[in-house]
Structure 1
Amino acid sequence: MKLWDISPPVSASAPVFPGDTPYSQQWAATIGPGCPVNVSAITLSPHVGAHADAPLHYDADGATIGAVALEPFLGRCRVIHAIGVGPLVRPEHIAHALTDLPPRVLVRTYARAPLDRFDEALAAYAPETIEQLADLGVQLVGIDTASIDPADSKLLLSHQVIRRRGLRVLENLVLDEVAEGDYELIALPLKLTTADASPVRAILRELP
């Protein structure tokens, strides 16, 4: 079955949220006389690249990413296009694709995702859109931008709906080559027992 890799590349040039820790890598050992292996150490925010937010990210008493259930990150999902709709994805922008909705929804807002820069004008979910999706039984929402809230938001209203309704979230996906429709999502977070998020290698698989 066909696979779509919906994860952006992660390297020192990967864009990060302003003030966040970028990716860096140092070599602790290199192959040579007396050393049979290459071994590196990496430093990065867990929000670099495609990632899953933990409740701890937006709730002081929330669970770490290593403590959340994996089921929302694996299974049938729907990709919905809302390309160029403006700063917020509102209910009317996705209304055409809500019939028989699976429990995971990924929204594409870019015609072409900017992989080389941080987009301060990124599109985000309107909180009422998250509420509607939760009412329809959705367990996970994803987006092809760096946040489900506007980049300059201090209230994080959509994150607070996620917190209150118990949903999970994926951010920084790359959906440039993905048509609207249903797929199998595989985007498991690492079992980081104290972290507020985790990188994921997010893929979509063609349904049988």
Structure 2
Amino acid sequence: MSENKWIDITQPLTNDIAHWPGDTPFSFELACTKKETGSVNIGQITSSVHMGTHVDAPFHFDDNGTTIDQLDVNIYIGKAAVIDVSHVTNITPKLLEGYKWEDDVTRILLRTSLPNNPKRFPKELPVLDPAIAPFLQQKEIKLLGVDMPSVDAPDSNELATHHALHDNGIYILENIMLDHISAGHYELIALPLAIQGADGSPVRAVIRRIEK
């Protein structure tokens, strides 16, 4: 029997990764080399906390919201269902009603019609109807992951889906890589860094198939 290995669904952080227009791009460089120090290489990074695969803290869109270091890490560890909605561009409660997942699943990861291309920032995203938030809350979902840079349109100022998810107790994971992942049930680990006062954090997201 083959080993059930963890699968990386993270966007690699590279110096040419796409960034949100107007946001701080990612950069890695050696601040000091082993030749210079005599013992070690020392790297430094510059980045937005919303770069690549990341999670949003409520403080990102609510001045009174919780910061990333105040969130329970258990939100980002546990059983998840990967759902393939790549055949549509508008994701609604009616659409999600057609999918079934096990009763103990509290995290949903959506594989949308957006191709996984970390080096290109998309002009348009599949639409997540804010009405999915109360529907998912009724299903006791506490984390929604998407393979897009945002749960709202790039030009949105109201961020209706961000707020609807937050109002229904659902946390947000963005820019996961699901093109190579089939629908089904998985274990998920997507831990944010404990950055004091931050509105979000990059994560290393991995999943492992749950065998029946």
Q: Residue 91 of structure 1: which of 88, 93, 103 is its match?
A: 93
d(CA) in 2 for partners of 1:33, 1:121:
46
Give me the identity figure in percent: 36
Q: Residue 142 of structure 1: which of 115, 136, 145 is its match?
A: 145
Structure 2 residue ranges without an equivalent (≥5): none
TM-score, normalized by length of structure 1? 0.94
Partner residue in 2 for 1:127: 130
Q: Residue 11 of structure 1: which of 5, 14, 18 is its match?
A: 14
Letter of the 1:24 counterpart: S
User: Quick check: 1:155 aligned with 2:152?
Assistant: no
Letter of the 1:79 counterpart: V
Q: Secondary structure at the match of 1:127?
A: coil
Q: Residue 196 of structure 1: which of 188, 196, 199 is its match?
A: 199
> Paired residues, what number?
207
TM-aligned CA deviation for residue 98 of structure 1: 3.1
1:74/1:187 contact within 8 Å kept: yes
TM-aligned CA deviation for residue 12 of structure 1: 1.2
Letter of the 2:175 counterpart: N
Q: 1:20-46, CA deviations, whole angstroms, 9 ceiling, x for partnerless residues? A: 111012322101165211001111001
TM-aligned CA deviation for residue 131 of structure 1: 1.8
C-alpha distance 54-29 of structure 1, shift in aligned 2 (>3 A): same
Q: Secondary structure at the match of 1:177?
A: coil
1:81/1:94 contact within 8 Å kept: no
Q: Residue 113 of structure 1: which of 116, 137, 141 is its match?
A: 116
Give structure 1 regions of 4+ aligned residues with deviation exceeding 4 angstroms: none
Structure 1 residue ranges without an equivalent (≥5): none
TM-aligned CA deviation for residue 203 of structure 1: 0.6
TM-score, normalized by length of structure 2? 0.92
Partner residue in 1 for 2:176: 173
Where do residues 49-64 of structure 1 align in structure 2 (5 Å cutoff)?
49-64=52-67
C-alpha distance 33-111 of structure 1, shift in aligned 2 (>3 A): closer
Give the root-mean-square deviation of aligned CA atoms.
1.5
TM-aligned CA deviation for residue 103 of structure 1: 0.2
